[in-house]
Amino acid sequence: MTIHLIERAKKFQERTAILTPKGSFSYSDLFQQSEQVAKNLLHSSPDLKEKRVAFLLPSDFSHVKVQWGIWRAGGIAVPLCTSHPVPELEYIVQNSGASTIVTNNDFIEIIKPIAERTRTQIMLESSFCTQINSPELPLLSSKRRAMILYTSGTTGRPKGVTSTHKNIQSQIETLVKAWKWKQDDCILQILPLHHVHGIINILNCALWSGATCEMLLNFNSKVVWQHFVQSNLTLFMAVPTIYSKLISTWEESPPEQQQFWSKACSKMRLMVSGSAALPVQTLEKWKRISGHFLLERYGMTEIGMALSNPLEGKRVPGYVGSPLPGVKVRLVNENGHVVEPGIPGEIQVKGPNVFSEYWQRPKETEKSFQQGWFKTGDVAILENGIYKILGRNSVDIIKSGGYKVSALEIEGILQTHRDIKECAVIGIPDPEWGESVAVALVLKTKTVFQWDTFRKWAKSQLAPYKVPVHHIQMKILPRNAMGKVNKAKLANNF
């Protein structure tokens, strides 16, 4: 079988697939150049046979063609994040057992030592030959593993969520159907490309549909407003923090500018929010500014999207709607029994969208399912046929800026610092970031401690969104009778 997503590109030929500040690329360009990438990766072998290929590239055409090239060669794509420090990148390269890292000259100095230590081959994207003789590209079953995305869990270091081509296709198809994607759509991509929101909901839904994905290297509030004005966008999707930042920029601007920007939003047909709870206040402010009632949906790396407010019909603030086509959702209590409407329960999900496994963690994979249903760890309630997310069943998972971070992972890293005796990390409510990372530190005796220096060190170890922004020093951490840190009590100290 061929990869349906990629075969479809043949239908769209000279239509614009990717638009970047550097130029525009058609579906033919993407099809041909991803074939070259695949042939370079294959060299003389007929099939990468699920070899992991990590890639560290900017959010532009090179990223897209390499992602497709890895798939076409039969490999598993492992996207790396450009803002991650070396230890985070190295963990992913090591854990996924990548055989190759594809990168460019901007990142080569970061990648070289990682590649040396992990004995991984580096390939420069710019050095891929255009004329390479190699056998036909392999035919792939839809059960073939396609991608590993790293996500924080309640235990230890991030886990590799492994999805097959079938999973990816169904995650795309359900959204294309529900939100009526079409060829004439054009979407702005400003999210990181190592998570489902950017990869599936934005980039590959656009490519499946023959639409245009306009890519910016990163998020900048003013630049996004300018693109609302100058580009022919029909769709916009982002996390609540981004809407909050766009609102702040709009509020700080002179009235003529505000009017101009607000008017530009009227040409769009849909604006979506997700990855974290959308505060009703943000929804209302955005409606006043843009005229758009944000469509809120719920998803997770392991399942893609599961619940969505309707494209047409009533969207209820604070609710995430109903199951997407082909996705089964149920709510279950602590005893594993399905609950009645009106009673809170854990969201469990079943369907072709659900991932295949945590990479090389069979026990954790098994534990995360109940009779074939994936246990999300999110608690919701069903009221009047629609779902409302109430929170998570673990205090150790924090959502900040749309990123999921694990308190335990951060604690594990911070505790390696020479001044720290022990520490406890929690998320505290933040109007802009949803939650922000806070840490209670117990220092070793006779330590002259400087928070700024400590933070600088933490930034060298952890992704920017995992670095604590608030701290307190304590003589002793509050613990319960079992010796476990009482995080609910700790939160009162910030």
Residues that bind ligand MCA (CB under 6 A): 83, 191-192, 195-198, 218-219, 239, 241-242, 274-275, 299-301, 400-403, 433, 436, 464-465, 469
465 binds, among ligand AMP, ligand MCA, none (CB under 5 to 8 A by kind): ligand MCA
Helix, strand and coil in the chain, % to nearest 5:
35, 30, 40
Strand partners, 76: 52
- Where does this chain touch ligand AMP (CB under 6 A) — which range of 170-178, 273-281, 440-448, 470-478? 273-281
CB of 72 to ligand MCA, least distance (A): 24
Instruction: Check residue 434 for interaction with ligand AMP (CB under 6 A).
Output: no
DSSP of 168-198: HHHHHHHHHHHTT--TT-EEEE-S-TTSHII
User: For ligand AMP, which residue of 276, 398, 410, 441 counts as binding (CB under 6 A)?
Assistant: 276
Told to check if 404 binds ligand AMP by CB under 6 A, we report yes
Residue at token pair 């319960």: 480
Q: Are 397 and 432 in contact (CB under 8 A)?
A: no
Selected from 36, 169, 301, 348, the binder of ligand AMP by CB under 6 A is 301
CA diameter of the chain: 69
Q: Is 92 in the site for ligand AMP (CB under 6 A)?
A: no
* Rg, Å, the chain Cα set: 23
The partner in contact with residue 189, picked from ligand AMP, ligand MCA, none with C-beta cut-offs of 5 to 8 angstroms by kind, is: none
- CB closer to ligand MCA out of 90 and 378: 378
Among 173, 357, 378, 396, binds ligand AMP (CB under 6 A): 378
- Alpha carbons 493 and 236: distance in angstroms, whole number: 38
Q: Name the β-bridge partners of 406.
A: 397
Side chain identity at 183, as an amino acid letter? Q
Q: Is 358 a binder of ligand AMP (CB under 6 A)? A: no
In the bound state with ligand AMP, the residue whose beta carbon lies nearer, of 151 and 209, is 151
Q: Which of 62, 104, 151, 164 binds ligand AMP (CB under 6 A)?
A: 151
Report the nearest approach of ligand MCA to the CB of residue 378 (Å).
Answer: 10
Site for ligand AMP in 27-56 (CB under 6 A): none
CB of 276 to ligand MCA, least distance (A): 8
Yes or no: say if 327 and 320 are a contact pair by the CB < 8 Å rule. Answer: no
Least distance from ligand AMP to the Cβ atom of residue 376, Å: 5
Q: Is the CB of 398 or the CB of 441 nearer to ligand MCA?
A: 398
Calculate the alpha carbon distances from 166 to 3, 8, 118, 280 in Å.
Answer: 9, 15, 30, 35
Amino acid at 338: V
Q: What are the CA-CA distances from residue 96 to residues 112, 121, 149 (Å)?
A: 17, 14, 10
User: Which of 100, 170, 376, 400: binder of ligand AMP (CB under 6 A)?
Assistant: 376
Considering the complex, state which of residue 135 and residue 391 has its C-beta at the smaller distance from ligand MCA: 391
Nearer to ligand MCA, 40 or 201 (CB): 201
Q: How far is the CB of 359 from ligand MCA (least distance, A)?
A: 17
Q: Which residue is nearest to ligand MCA (CB)?
A: 401
**One character per residue 315-354, x = contact with ligand AMP (rule: CB under 6 A):** -----x----------------------------------
7-12: Cβ within 8 A, 24+ apart: 8/207, 8/208, 8/210, 9/207, 11/210, 12/183, 12/210
Which residues make beta-bridge pairs with 159?
151
Q: Binding partner of residue 46 among ligand MCA, ligand AMP, none, CB under 5 to 8 Å per kind?
A: none
Which of 85, 198 has the CB closer to ligand MCA?
198
Partner interacting with residue 151 (select from ligand AMP, ligand MCA, none; CB below 5-8 Å by kind): ligand AMP
Number of residues that bind ligand AMP (CB under 6 A): 18
Closest CA to 315 of 179, 192, 448: 179
CA distance 54 to 150: 12
Q: Please, what sign has the CA dihedral across residues 449, 450, 451, 455?
A: negative
Tell me how far apart the alpha carbons of residues 58 and 64 are, in angstroms, rounded to a whole number. 10
299 touching ligand AMP, by CB under 6 A: yes
- Count CB neighbours of 47 within 10 A: 16
Could you say whether residue 435 binds ligand AMP (CB under 6 A)? Answer: no
On whether the CB atoms of residues 468 and 438 are closer than 8 A, the answer is: yes
Task: Tell me 125's DSSP state.
Answer: G
Binding site for ligand AMP (CB under 6 A): 151, 196, 274-277, 296, 298-301, 320, 376, 378, 389, 392, 399, 404
